[in-house]
Amino acid sequence: MVTDRTFFGHPRGLATLFGTEMWERFSWYGLRAILATFMAASPAHAGLGLSQETSQAVVGVYGALIYLVALPGGWIADRILGARRSVFWGGFVIMLGHISMAIPVASSLFVWLGLLLIIAGTGLLKPNISVMVGRLYPEEDDGRRDAGFSLFYLGINLGAFFAPLVVGWLAEGDRWHLGFSAAAVGMALGLVQYVLGGRSLRGVGERPGLRLTPRERRRFGRLVALGVVLTLVVLGAWAATGTLTVDRFTVALTLVILIVPVAYFGYIMFGSHDLTEDERIRMKAYIWLFVAAAIFWMIYDLAPSKLLFFAQDHTDLSLFGIRINQAATQSFNPLFIMIFVPVFAALWVRLGTRVSTPQKFGFALVMVGLSFVVMAVAAGLAGAGRVSVWWLVLVYLIQVFGELSLSPVGLSVTTKLAPEAFKGQMLGIWFIAVSVGDAVGGQTGRLGRVLSEPMYYLVLAAMAIVAGLALFLFTRSLRVMMAEHHEPAMR
């Protein structure tokens, strides 16, 4: 009897998507591990010569845009390309972006072009490869699908763990473009593996869910062209005034990113969508959780900027007597995630409905806040000399406890609280919370102008802890608004 080959008991196509995502994450986390320090390095050291504050802002809006473009990327797959071609072309554009950054020329043009290409490519690849994983399974096979996503998640973290080690090592000695080349090679390997394993996908994602008509395509093309032209005109006019700088551009992008959720929630709440009163109440609860998530990511995603600079400037980079570079500290986070994912998964099953979503979010905020209390202590000690790298190990360990309490339930609660008319669209809102957090976090570097390093960490820690305690305080009210666990509004 001939049986189909499987991947740890799962459809063979999961191996194809697992490998593609692992290599894409290798390229993403590899670049992220050296981007801020490359930008802040002086031209004498082959860097861009930006200040650490501006570099932090650039990394923040770069990460924010990565998550923001997941929305149009999903739409393009649904209406034009289909998920399968979107993943391929997304990966191809990402690879071109890393190649652009790897070109060893003094001009920064290829760096900015590379980042733009990576943002555009990730918008196509990232949301759609996850959709394809889900479609490998029959609709009723929830158990195997959940297990398949767990394996997929492992691939993400394997790529995230090894990338800083490899890329950081190659980039040592001002060999930044060699590090960027490794990220390009990683994405190329992912593409090759994706094409070779294409047959195992068995047609998954081949066609758009609702293809645009020729008339709609022409209209879409005109709108895109108009948007590009208007953007270029605005930037050109701004440049002509002599006031356009990288720093100011990041502020403008942050403001745009902040406007997106405000406009979207306003559209949902005040538009004529025939929302029921219960749906409006649940949306009000979700807005509070959205703000909490944005605060969490504002701190959590300072790892590739503020904490990376701390590792470079104030840390004795010796682990078990082995010398490491600052980029390698970015591997602590995915290592802890891989270790503790099964622990937290078992914990939430054991606790069941005794721990609510607001309590999980509150715990996450308190944890990420406490991690910056630890950073404040480390920064204070660093005033007298470099501190042990174990301080950063502790910080990332505490943060992972928070991340595993918030991230896994984010999409779930988004789906649950979304009004019926916005079920599909609302999934992208969760990623906008990450986008807002990343953008605002990038701008917090400006606080260094008026605050000492320890006080900077304490201010952000206080914001997170106060927000977390507020969620604990209002847990009962939020659970009633969310109708969580079907609690009655009045007893």
Tokens 């806040």 correspond to what residue? 369
Tokens 């990450």 correspond to what residue? 434
The token pair that represents 306 in the structure block: 């503020």
Amino acid at 268: I
Rounding to the nearest 10 degrees, give the CA dihedral for residues 229, 231, 236, 237: 110
Q: What is the pLDDT along the chain (491 residues), one digit of tens a residue?
A: 344 567 767 788 888 888 899 999 999 999 999 999 999 999 999 999 999 999 999 999 999 999 898 888 888 888 888 888 999 999 999 999 999 999 988 788 999 999 999 999 999 998 888 878 877 877 666 566 767 777 888 888 999 999 999 999 999 999 999 999 999 999 999 999 999 988 888 887 788 777 888 888 899 899 999 999 999 999 999 999 999 999 999 999 999 999 999 998 888 888 777 788 888 888 888 999 999 999 999 999 999 999 999 999 999 999 888 999 999 999 999 999 999 988 887 887 787 777 888 899 999 999 999 999 999 999 999 987 899 999 999 999 999 999 998 887 787 787 778 787 776 667 778 889 999 999 999 999 999 899 999 999 999 999 999 999 999 998 888 888 887 654 433 33
The token pair that represents 470 in the structure block: 């507020």
Which residues have C-beta within 8 Å of that of residue 250, sequence separation ≥ 6? Answer: 54, 57, 58, 60, 61, 442, 443
pTM of the model: 0.90
d(CA 377, CA 393): 14
d(CA 290, CA 157): 25
Predicted pLDDT at 203: 80
**Measured in Å, how far apart are the chain's first and last C-alpha atoms?**
61
State the DSSP string of 144-170. HHHHHHHHHHHHHHHHHHHHHHHHHHH
Backbone phi and psi for residue 231, each to the nearest 5 degrees, phi listed first: -60, -45
d(CA 156, CA 455): 34
Which residues have C-beta within 8 Å of that of residue 145, sequence separation ≥ 6? Answer: 134, 136, 137
Predicted pLDDT at 52: 94
Predicted pLDDT at 291: 94
Q: List the Cα angle 271/273/277 in 5-degree steps.
A: 95
Predicted pLDDT at 239: 92
HSE-up of residue 302 (Cα within 13 Å, Cβ side): 30
